[in-house]
Amino acid sequence: MSFDLARLSLLYSPRLSFSPYTAASRKGDVVRCSMKSYRLSELSFSQVENLKSRPRIDFSSIFTTVNPIIDAVRSKGDVAVKEYTERFDKVQLSKVVEDVSELPLPELDSRVKEAFDVAYDNIYAFHLAQKSTEKSVENMKGVRCKRVSRSIGSVGLYVPGGTAVLPSTALMLAIPAQIAGCKTVVLATPPTKEGSICKEVLYCAKRAGVTHILKAGGAQAIAAMAWGTDSCPKVEKIFGPGNQYVTAAKMILQNSEAMVSIDMPAGPSEVLVIADEHANPVYIAADLLSQAEHGPDSQVVLVVVGDGVNLKAIEEEIAKQCKSLPRGEFASKALSHSFTVFARDMIEAITFSNLYAPEHLIINVKDAEKWEGLIENAGSVFVGPWTPESVGDYASGTNHVLPTYGYARMYSGVSLDSFLKFMTVQSLTEEGLRNLGPYVATMAEIEGLDAHKRAVTLRLKDIEAKQQLSQTK
């Protein structure tokens, strides 16, 4: 399939004019659901750029709040973690960290247990398949190179527990760490009001090989894992989604003396749905709301393809479903800064999606599979009418810890490789150094690095002397 570059350039034309359309809103007793609408063909380059921008997060003020927490945990350790947990979560902890091996496997309802077991099996199978075989390449006679992987020794997994408990995130993060062979796996999650661990999170943690559970959330949990405390092992990389304070702590600590890496920058949850006249309005509304309910700062985008889509039916479904959701108020607030765009065809729709680079991309159009090859920027893609985003969030096997805020343009979601580090190994024989050495010496000479050159030439001289000696015998 050829990609029409002339058509793609339409979105960048400065001659096009801006034309917003206000979507019909629905007022109910509890929530008000509405989304602004625009036509892509009438937007200028700068207007499209503005449209793909996310709501701005003022990290400067958040850093002001988070920095003292990080400093306190560094200096006071477990004491600070207990103090902040009591202040923010209203829980007094007698013990900050639990050794998972010492905790009994919690009893779950059989239906719930089966659901998590199916999810575990699918996530494990998909991530196990990501293991790569080691390859050794002989670039020149006697010059052999290879790349080998090793697990990151200690990792920290953040599992949110504020407005919603997310045991699925425990599976998404702990399973690839288990397959990679990470020796120390610390899972941080806010405690219950009784100071215990959510039983579903504990079940997932035990199944997936977590070694320690830190009963804390927020910036204090991230700091404890980054610096280490008397009871919490220091980790070398931190994974997982979280609120703006968690994100800020990860950003600060990866650039600090803590010497810790993070998985990716993270922002509020988001989804972009591409739908044509064949898409069921009920499904479209449900998919949009499945991300909007995460929180008021979530963003959902609907890209309508062609003129045959019944937008009124979609709007009515959004209003109907939103009002019946327990988290409908969150969804309503998210919809207030979300939007619909009208695309003339799939080329224009996909072009905008690639610019927007969504965390989740749903392609709910006729023959959806044929468009997959044109998708360049997305965290995870859901193809066809029977693939709701929810399956990826829970149990299809793919990972739901994904780049948001447009970072899908340069970041990937969490995978097995996220828990590995890679080393290159080279080995030369005497013949190999004779073959390659003169070229290396020349390049070192050009760069003025005489010690580099000498490390080669001294060996070459010894090889030459040995050869001459053997010839005289």
Catalytic residues: 359-360
Tokens representing residue 45 in the block: 């380059």
- 8 Å CB contact between 402 and 411: no
The answer for 195, left when phi > 0, alpha when psi is -120 to 50, beta otherwise, is left
| CA-based end-to-end distance of the chain | 69
User: Which stretches within 140-243 are classed as H helix?
Assistant: 167-180, 199-207, 218-227
- 8 Å CB contact between 209 and 123: no
Residue type at 231? S
* 458, β-bridge pairs: none
Tokens representing residue 104 in the block: 């009994």
Q: Hey, is 138 helix, strand or coil?
A: strand
Q: Hey, is 473 helix, strand or coil?
A: coil
The answer for 209, left when phi > 0, alpha when psi is -120 to 50, beta otherwise, is left
Provide the pairing of β-strand 212-214 with 97-99.
antiparallel
SS3 track for 292-303: HCCCCCCEEEEE
Residues 6+ away with beta carbon under 8 Å from 60: none
What whole-number distance in Å separates Cα of residue 158 and Cα of residue 177?
13
